[in-house]
Amino acid sequence: MNERRAIYDELCRVLTDYEGNGSEEGATASDLYDVLVKIQNDWEDVITAEAESHGIIPDWLAGTGPFVCKVNGYHNTVIRVRKNADFDYLYIQRQYHSVGIERGDKFEYAGIYCRRDGLVYDAQYAVRDLFDDPNTLETRGAEALHNHLKTTVRKAVEASIANDRNNLRITELTSERELEKLANYQKYSAGEQARKAYLYNGDEDEGFDFTFICEYDPDRWTEDSLLAYILNPGGYVNAEAKAFIDGNQETMLLDFLESDLDAAAYKLIIENPANPIHRVKRIIQALSASSAKTVTVTIRKDGIDFTFKAEAAQFRSDCTSYYNDWNIMVADRKEFERLFGRSGRYGPEDIIRIEYARSVLYEAEAAGSEVTDNE
C-alpha cells in the first residue's frame, strides 16, 4: 500500500509540474511517461493476482487484447485471433522461468470463443486451469460435442421411425448388397439371435421383441462442421437426422426384415419341446437363482451314474455341445477320465441332478419332458 501511495504522490507532483511546463522546473513528457509505466506495472500485478483466484473472466472474453496471468507456477499469455464474425480462436504461450511472451516461442491453439453465447468450446488442456470451473468445459469439448451429436441424432431418427417399418418409404429391398446381407443373416445369424433371446427371456411366452435402433455414427469434426454445430446445434442435428433417414432406407428396412427372421426362428424353438435348448434354459435359470460357486453334479452317461463337484459359473451360460470337464474338481476329474476316457465329455442331456448345500437346484426327472430326453 505504501508503494502505491508513493506512485500516487509522484503522479500528483508530475501532473502539477507538467502544468508549468513552460518553466525550467516543469515536468517533461518523458517524466509523465515514466510514471504511467509505473502505474501500468503496478496494475499488471493486480490483474495477475486476480487471475490466480478467478481465472479467465467474462469481461476479457467479451473484449479484446491479450490476457496475462500466473497459474501453477506458469506465466500464461492468451491471445485471441478473429476467425469470422462469430468466432475467435484462442492461443496460449506458457513460460515457467520468465514473465510475458518470448520471441521465437510458439503460441499453442487453446480453444474457440463463440461471440454469440460468450462461451469457450474445444478448450485445450493448457488453458483449462485459467477458468473458474474447468469441469464445465468438458461438456463443450470436441469429443463431448461429438458424442452428444451422435446420441441426439440417433434419438431423432428413432423417434421418426417409431419402431414401425411403415414409416419407411420403401417396402422391399432392391440393393444386391442388402439382399445378400439378408440371405447371410438367415443362414448364419437368425438362429443364434433367437437362441440368445429364448435363453435369457424371463418368460418364454414373451416372444421375440424387436426394437429399431439407429446406428448413426457421425464423421469426425472438420473445422467447418464443428463451428456450424456450435452455432446451431438444433439445426445441425435435424439436418443430420434427415440425411441419415434419406440415405439409409434399405439399411433400416434390412433391420426389420432380419427381426422377422429372428422371430420365425424363435417360434420354431417354442413349438419344438424336444429341442435340447429347453433343458439348457432350465439349467441356466436354476443356477442363476443361486449364489453357489461350487455345485454337486450327477450325470448319467453310458449307463453309469457319476457324481462330482464342479464350478457353478459354467451352468449359468449357454452350452451348445459340452461342458468343460476342466471345471470338475481335480480328484473327481481323474475318476471321470477313468470312467469315460480322457476324451470323455458330458452335456446338458447327461445331467440328471445339480445340488448345492443339500438342496436340489435342478433335477431332470422332475421336469416332465426331460425323462424322455434322458431315455
> Could you tell me the residue range of the domain that residue 311 belongs to?
277-374
pLDDT tens digits along 109-135: 999 999 999 899 999 988 887 887 778
Task: Indicate whether 133 and 195 sit together in one domain.
Answer: no
Q: Facing residues of 363 across strands?
A: 353
Query: What's the whole-number mean pLDDT along residues 359-369?
Result: 74
User: Does the structure show a pLDDT above 80 at 47?
Assistant: no
Mean pLDDT of the chain: 85
User: Could you tell me if 234 and 288 lie in one domain?
Assistant: no
Residue 111's region, left for phi above 0, alpha for psi from -120 to 50, else beta, is: left
Same domain, 364 and 289: yes
Beta bridge partners of 71: 74
Residues 161 and 221 in one domain: yes
Same domain, 29 and 79: no
DSSP 10-63: HHHHHHHHHHTTTSTTSPPHHHHHHHHHHHHHHHHHHHHHHHHHH-S-HHHHTS
27-40 per-position pLDDT tens digit: 677 776 676 666 65
283 and 261 co-located in one domain = no
Task: Quickly list DSSP for 186-253.
Answer: HHHTHHHHHHHHHHH-SSGGG-----------PPPPPHHHHHHHHH-HHHHHHHHHHHHHHH-HHHHH
The dihedral through the CA atoms of 91, 97, 98, 104 has a sign that is negative
pTM (2 d.p.): 0.73
* DSSP character string of 53-107: HH-S-HHHHTS-S-EEEEETTEEEEEEEEE-SSSEEEEEEEEESSSSS--TTPPP
- 220 grid coordinates: 469426425
Tell me which of 224 and 131 has the higher pLDDT.
224
pLDDT at residue number 308: 97
pLDDT per position as a tens digit, 65-80: 677 777 777 788 888 8
Per DSSP, the three-state class of 317 is: coil
pLDDT digits over 146-204, tens only? 999 999 999 999 999 999 999 999 999 999 999 999 999 999 999 999 999 999 876 65
Structural domain ending residue among the three candidates 100, 121, 137: 137
| Average pLDDT value for residue range 224-240 | 98
Residue 20 confidence (pLDDT) above 90: no
Residues 161 and 259 in one domain: yes
Looking at the chain, the whole-number percentage of residues with pLDDT higher than 90 is 64
Domain count within the chain: 4
Q: Cα 341 vs. chain centroid, distance in angstroms?
A: 49
Q: 312 with 357: CB under 8 angstroms?
A: no
pLDDT, tens digit (0-9, with 9 covering 90-100), for 254-297: 999 999 999 999 999 999 999 999 999 999 999 999 999 999 99
